[in-house]
Structures are given as structure tokens and as C-alpha cells.
A = this chain, B = another copy of it.
Amino acid sequence: MSAFPRNTWYMAAWETEVEDGGMLARTLLDTPQLIYRRESGDGYVMLENRCPHKFAPLSRGKREGDTIACGYHGLKFNDKGACIHNPFAERPPPNARVRTTPIVARYGGLWFWPGDPALADEALIPDMAFLDDPTPIYRGKTQMNAHFELLTDNLLDLSHVEFIHQKTFQPTGGAFTGKYEAREQDGVVLSNWWMPAIEPPGWAKPMLPDGAKIDQWIEMEWRAPACMSLLVGIARAGTDRKEVIGTPFLNPHIITPETSRSSHYFYTCAPDEGAKQFTLDVFEGEDQPMIESIEQNMGGADFWSLKPVILNIDAASVLARRRLAKMREQETARPVEAAR
């Protein structure tokens, strides 16, 4: 049960992380991978970052057009992973292939399908269309030393804001009086808070007259494997979300396993330095120490084997965990590896 589901789209990187003409080396699902954009601009390539000859990282080599030349002995691989040149023979070795993984650019991110390529239907890429909004945003990435489902747990349960984000978000207890609802709908898990007639959180106060009460909604949508979008809105209390204060913001929180005990975390924020710093204060200053201490406290054990107590606020995270477990189960019954 600890394996990763494979027949699903994960995000590998933001497009902005891959320089034109360059290569990005990144470990994803325990596998070293190499990502680059075709010279024509026509899509991206994901090759296993390991030459099949002597297992050198291809990222130590050179990019030549859409071809990667291994830095150890000069074997060249094209964007299909085929070896097209051996400097020491007329013909490349026919069995020299680098494993490729389907990769697609969408919503500013690069999505890869680590499972059976025949099943890699782009229509299944998690819907993150709101990221196509032309307003400038900063696309950031951090890393946490914890299993990716611990990061998902953290995001599907935003009641924790009342506890670990006191300094940054300055919540005022809405999670204790508000209404929480979790449900699954066509494979999307919704984790929604409705917090009527509360004191505004600290970040909202400058937008409001003194003493004004608000209604706040916090709504997280999860799509397998770990793609989340967060909507936060406030309105004058009792206006049924009509007299909205400021602009409701919608943020991605996209998690991809690096290894079984570490994860990539993709996010966005406003492009100014203040917003970037605030975001790091939240993620790296508040979430990360808690999540990593949990990873350590679990000592590598499976989550369910430790018999966790389940609260009402865990409803969404349990739905997500169950859905992933089902995916893994189905893949175990019909192994992906065999399909490759």
C-alpha cells in the first residue's frame, strides 16, 4: 500500500523551471528524471536520468537540439529515448533505450504519467484551468521531507490554520463555530468551511471598517493524486456572499512525491517580494516543521497501521486516502510495470 499510484497525472515542475535549451533534473516517485522542452517549442520530453550503458545521469551530459549526449561516453538519445548515435560504432546499439514518460504542458505546469503510457489520456489531467488566468503570479516550489499523503492531509484539513498559522493568517476561531462539509463528487474531494458572522482574520482587517463582522468560506478541492485548489473568500456578514470584500483568491497546492519520504510542493502567490516571503513563512516556517516532525514520529510506518483517531475534520483526507488506496489496489491487481 505504500507504493505510489502510477496510472495518474502528477506535476513534475512549473514550465518556468525549465529554461529554453536547458534541462531540469528532478527525482520523481523515487526515479531520477530529466525534463527539457523541444527546440521547436513543440512540447516537452521526460527521459529517465540514467544512461542505459553505464547508468550515468544524463543531466551530466550535453543537450544538442532535442538530443541528449551522455557525458560519459557520448551515446546520444533522441526525444523518444532511442539511441541514435554511438561515437564508437557505425550504428547505435539497437537495445539502447532510455525510458520515456508521457509529459504534457498545461496550466503552466508539466504533467507526467508514470504508469502505462497507453492509458495516458490528457483529458485526465487534473482540472486546474484557473491557473490560465493572465494575471501575473509567481509560481513557486518547496520541498518537504515527508510522505506526500501527509502533505495532502494537512491541506485537506484547514482547521489546522487555527493552530499552526496564528502568526501569519491570524485566524479568529471561525473553524470552531463554522460548518464543515466534506464530500466526493466524480472523483473530486471537496473540503469546505463556511464561517458566518466571525471577526475577520488579521489579513482581512485592513480591507474592513473597524468592528465589522464577515462571513468567510474556505474551500479546498482535491483531485488524485495530490492536486488541490484552494478558494478563500470573505463577504460582509449576512450578505449571502454577495457583498464580497476584496477578491476571493484561488490557489493551487500541488504535491508530487520525490521519494517515499519526501515531496515536492508547487504553489503560487502574488509576484511581489512581500507575498513571496509571507508564503514561505506559512509553508516553510509553519507547515513544514509540523509535517516533518510527524513523518519522523511515524518512523516510516504505514499511516493506517498506527490506528489513527479519526475526527470529523478528517472526512476529506480520509476520502482522498481511500481513493488513492483503491487506485493502488487496482494497479496491484493489474501491475503497471508489466505493461511497460
Residues of chain A having any CB pair with chain B under 8 Å: 32, 49-50, 52-57, 60, 70-75, 83, 86-89, 93, 95-96, 153, 157, 159-160, 162-164, 175-176, 180, 289-290, 293-294, 297-298, 306-314
CA A334 to CA B110, docked complex, whole Å: 55
**Cβ-defined contact, B308 with A52, below 8 A:** yes
**Would you call A89 and B311 a contact (CB within 8 A)?**
yes
Sample of 18 more A-B contacts, CB < 8 Å, known A32-B297, A53-B308, A74-B162: A52-B307, A55-B306, A55-B308, A56-B294, A57-B294, A57-B297, A60-B293, A70-B163, A71-B164, A72-B164, A73-B157, A74-B163, A87-B162, A87-B176, A93-B309, A93-B310, A95-B309, A96-B309
Query: Which residue in chain B gives the minimum CB-CB distance to A56?
Result: B294
- A176 B88 Cβ-Cβ under 8 A: yes
A293–B75 CA distance with the chains assembled, in angstroms = 17
Contacts of A157 in B (CB 8 A): 73
Contact A54 B312 (CB under 8 A): no
Cβ contact within 8 Å between A89 and B312: yes
Given A55-B306, A176-B87, answer yes or no on A72-B160 (Cβ-Cβ < 8 Å): yes
Closest-by-CB residue of B relative to A176 is B87
Please name all residues of chain B whose beta carbon is closer than 8 Å to the beta carbon of A298 when the two chains form the complex.
Answer: 55
CB neighbours of A57 from chain B (8 A): 293-294, 297
Q: Provide the bound-state CA to CA distance between A116 and B54, in Å.
A: 34
Given known A293-B60, A297-B32, contact A52–B176 (CB-CB < 8 A):
no
Closest CB in chain B relative to A258 CB, distance in Å = 14
Report A327 CB to chain B, min CB distance, Å: 22
Report yes or no: A54 in contact with B294, Cβ–Cβ below 8 A. Answer: yes
* CB < 8 Å neighbour of A160 from B73, B153, B175: B73
Q: 7 tightest A-B contacts by CB? A: A96-B309, A52-B309, A53-B309, A55-B297, A88-B313, A50-B297, A55-B294
Chain B residue contacts of A163, Cβ below 8 A: 70-74
Listed by A's residue number, 30 A-B pairs whose Cβ atoms lie within 8 Å are A52-B309, A53-B311, A53-B314, A54-B308, A55-B294, A55-B297, A55-B298, A56-B290, A57-B293, A57-B294, A57-B297, A60-B289, A60-B290, A72-B160, A73-B159, A73-B160, A73-B311, A73-B313, A74-B162, A75-B311, A83-B309, A86-B311, A87-B159, A87-B176, A88-B175, A88-B313, A89-B312, A93-B311, A95-B309, A96-B309
A88–B311 CB distance below 8 A = yes
A55–B313 alpha-carbon span in the complex (Å): 15
Is the pair A72, B162 in contact by a Cβ cutoff of 8 Å? no
User: How far, in Å, is A103 (CB) from chain B's closest CB?
Assistant: 20
Evaluate contact between B153 and A54: CB separation under 8 angstroms: yes
CB distance from A56 to the nearest CB of B (A): 5
Q: In chain B, what residue has the closest Cβ to A307?
A: B52
Distance of A230 from chain B, by nearest CB (Å): 18
Closest residue of B by beta carbon distance from A87: B176
A87 CA / B311 CA spacing, docked (Å)? 10
Contacts of A49 in B (CB 8 A): 297
